[in-house]
Amino acid sequence: MHPAATRSSQQTIDQFGKYVIPNYKRYPVTLVHGEGSYVWDAEGKRYLDLFPGWGCDILGHCPPLVVKAIQRQVQHLIHIPNTWYTEAQGDFAEAIVKHSFGKVFFANSGTEANEGAIKLARLHYANNSGGTSKYRVISFANGFHGRTFGSVTATAQPKYHEGLGPLLPGFRYAPYNDLEAVKSLVDDETCAILLEPVQGEGGVNIADEGFLKGLRELCDQRDMLLIFDEVQTGMGRTGDWFGYQNTGIQPDIMTLAKGLAGGVACGAFVCQDHIAPSLRPGMHASTFGGNPLAMAAGIATMMTIEEEGLLENCRKMSDRFCQHFQALKSKLPIIKDVRARGMMIGVELNIPATPAVAKCMDRGVLINATHDTVVRLLPALNITAEQVDEGCKVIAETLEVMAQEA
């Protein structure tokens, strides 16, 4: 048993059976401890985690500076409402804006950040009679924006809509990377275009530069807001601080969460200065948003990325993963495509990818499968070359076995 465990994995699994709503498919393992890219289960088995915290643990598990910052903050203030000022919220907002643009609103999750961005877009075009002159939002096939009603409506994947209707009115869906399709959907009531610069859950699909430039021009011509959902691509994930920064364009609003506070629940949206006043006092709020604990964790996360040169490490390790997977692709016809932007890596197979997850877990490596056929990795920005090699070896051997069985 691991020293941090108080009982076996199975005992906890039985407890969940009695008390927890069974809406998640969980692996039959209880995790009890993590350090960087390693995590341990109750039985003491160690795993190399190439998908730490579903992308939230952007610095791996329990990054030391984040742990210290939380310990320091927790003895002064855990939570106070947004009717007061805190140094922590000011400092984190300043740090984000200095690496991006505009002004920040803090929430607690990705879906909440996107809800706020959609509300802001409609409010920005509100007319004097209290209604909105433009309300329609265009989003994209295979995108993912969250689970609350606005965000799930924006998520153009039928499997997430089943049984939930009626959804939020005013959404239209276009194929990703298809500018002409977007143009044909825009009308005078369209207020915003919402997309991920790299689709994560949809299978690590990278937006073409020309497509993004075209969307930017279209939004300028038709007076609409361009919203980037950077919940997954933000905070250094792509090798830049934010995903838009290597696209040559800037969105009007960007939403953040996942890695934003190094694993502590935190979401945010950033908007250009001239849009910020459209979020009038009383029109939007979040009780826990911007709480000192999350803010302290966020500041420490950004400091770690900066001081340890992790954007550079992210780009280097991305190349290393790609070299491994390209070499594997030339040997294994079951690999259709290898796509990567920083520490967002997708290996598309022409067979189902899901069996690879359990097979790798048996051998002590944690990965994810998405969109049926894509092996997806969201490794920590501070992963080492040795860990990349170790993980790729297990994945390669696993895919070789799957290719023989296929």
Phi, psi (deg, nearest 5) at residue 353: -90, -20
Of the two residues 231 and 394, which places its CB atom closer to ligand PLP in the complex? 231
Question: Which residue among 232, 286, 370, 398 contacts ligand PLP (CB under 6 A)?
Answer: 232
Integer Cα distance of 257 and 106 in angstroms: 10
Residue 196 is a binding residue for ligand PLP (CB under 6 A): yes
- Find the shortest distance in angstroms from Cβ 272 to ligand PLP: 20
Is residue 319 annotated as a catalytic residue, yes or no? Answer: no
Collect all residues with Cβ–Cβ distance below 8 Å to 97 and sequence separation of at least 6: 103, 104, 270
CB of 320 to ligand PLP, least distance (A): 24
**Of positions 111, 205, 238, 373, contacts ligand PLP by CB under 6 A:** 111
Q: Which of 93, 257, 261, 380 binds ligand PLP (CB under 6 A)?
A: 257
User: Whose CA is closest to 170, among 149, 201, 184?
Assistant: 149
In the bound state with ligand PLP, the residue whose beta carbon lies nearer, of 221 and 246, is 246
Which of 110, 197, 259, 379 touches ligand PLP by CB under 6 A? Answer: 110
Exposed/middle/buried for 23, CB within 10 Å: 0-12, 13-18, 19+?
exposed
Q: Is 211 a catalytic residue?
A: no
Q: Residues with Cβ < 8 Å from 324, sequence gap 6 or more?
A: 388, 389, 392, 396
Burial 315-324 (b: 16+ CB within 10 A, else e): bebbebbbeb
How many residues of this chain interact with ligand PLP, rule: CB under 6 A?
15
Residue in 106, 228, 258, 325 annotated catalytic? 258
The residue behind tokens 């021009």 is: 217
> 64-74 and 292-307 helices cross at what angle (nearest 10)?
150
What's the burial of 105, exposed, middle or buried (CB within 10 Å: 0-12/13-18/19+)? buried
**228 near ligand PLP (CB under 6 A):** no
Work out the burial of residue 206: count CB atoms within 10 Å of its CB; fewer than 13 is exposed, 13-18 middle, 19 or more buried.
buried
Residue 244 corresponds to which amino acid? Y
From the candidates 144, 228, 269, 325, which is the catalytic residue?
Answer: 144
According to the binding rule CB under 6 A, does residue 341 interact with ligand PLP? no
Rule CB under 6 A: which of 122-151 touch ligand PLP? 144-146
Judged by CB under 6 A, the residue of 137, 195, 204, 231 near ligand PLP is 231
Based on its alpha-carbon atoms, the radius of gyration of the chain, rounded to whole angstroms, reads: 21
Smallest distance from the beta carbon of 185 to ligand PLP, in angstroms? Answer: 21
Q: Least CB distance from residue 362 to ligand PLP, whole Å? A: 27
Position with the least CB separation from ligand PLP: 110
Region from 108-116, 205-213, 359-367, 375-383 binding ligand PLP, contact rule CB under 6 A = 108-116
* Catalytic status, residue 229: yes
Q: In angstroms, how far apart are the furthest CA atoms of the chain?
A: 67
Give catalytic residues, as residue numbers.
144, 229, 258
Binding site for ligand PLP (CB under 6 A): 109-111, 114, 144-146, 196, 200-201, 229, 231-232, 257-258
